[in-house]
Amino acid sequence: MRKPIIAGNWKMFKTRDETLQFIYAVSNRVASIEKVDSVICAPFPVLRCLVKRQGDNLRIGAQNMHFAEEGAYTGEVSAAMLNSIDVSYVIIGHSERRAMFNETDETVNKKLHQAFKHELKPILCVGESLAQRESGSTEKVIEDQIKKDLSGLSKEQVEGLVIAYEPIWAIGTGKTATSAIADETCGFIRKVVGDLYGMETAEVIRIQYGGSVKLSNIDELMSMPNIDGALIGGASLVAEDFIKLVAAAVK
Ligand code: 13P
User: Out of 94, 96, 103, 128, which one is annotated catalytic?
Assistant: 94
Q: Whose CA is nearest to atom 7 of ligand 1?
A: 233
- Closest atom of ligand 1 to 235 CA is 2
pLDDT at position 174 is 80
pLDDT at position 177 over 80: yes
Average pLDDT over residues 29-52: 97
pLDDT at position 1 is 85
Give the whole-angstrom CA distance, residue 22 versus residue 25: 5
Type of residue at 5: I
Residue 166 bears catalytic tag: yes
Assign 172 a pLDDT band (cuts: 50, 70, 90): confident
| Per-residue pLDDT tens over the stretch 56-67 | 899 999 999 999
Give the whole-angstrom CA distance, residue 53 versus residue 27: 7
Around 158, how many Cα atoms within 13 Å sit in the side-chain half-sphere? 25
Parallel, antiparallel or unpaired: strands 229-232 and 89-92: unpaired
Domains of the chain are 5-248 (3.20.20.70)
Pocket of ligand 1 (CB under 6 A): 9, 94, 166, 171-172, 210-213, 231-235
Give the whole-angstrom CA distance, residue 214 versus residue 199: 31
Give the whole-angstrom CA distance, residue 250 versus residue 228: 10
| Mean of pLDDT over the chain | 97
197 CA distance to ligand 1 middle (Å): 28
pLDDT at position 6 is 98
Chain centroid to CA 117: 18
Give the whole-angstrom CA distance, residue 237 versus residue 18: 10
Residue 113 bears catalytic tag: no
pLDDT at position 251 over 90: no
For residues 118 and 87, is the Cβ–Cβ distance under 8 A?
no
pLDDT at position 200 is 97
pLDDT at position 221 over 80: yes
Q: Whose CA is nearest to atom 1 of ligand 1?
A: 233
Assign 224 a pLDDT band (cuts: 50, 70, 90): very high
pLDDT at position 176 over 80: no
Closest CA to 229 of 209, 204, 250: 209
- Closest atom of ligand 1 to 171 CA is 4
Give the whole-angstrom CA distance, residue 82 versus residue 61: 9
Locate the DSSP E strands across the chain.
5-9, 37-41, 58-62, 89-92, 121-126, 162-165, 206-210, 229-232
| Per-residue pLDDT tens over the stretch 73-107 | 999 999 999 999 999 999 999 999 999 999 999 99
Type of residue at 43: P
Average pLDDT over residues 184-205: 98
58 CA distance to ligand 1 middle (Å): 19
pLDDT at position 13 over 80: yes
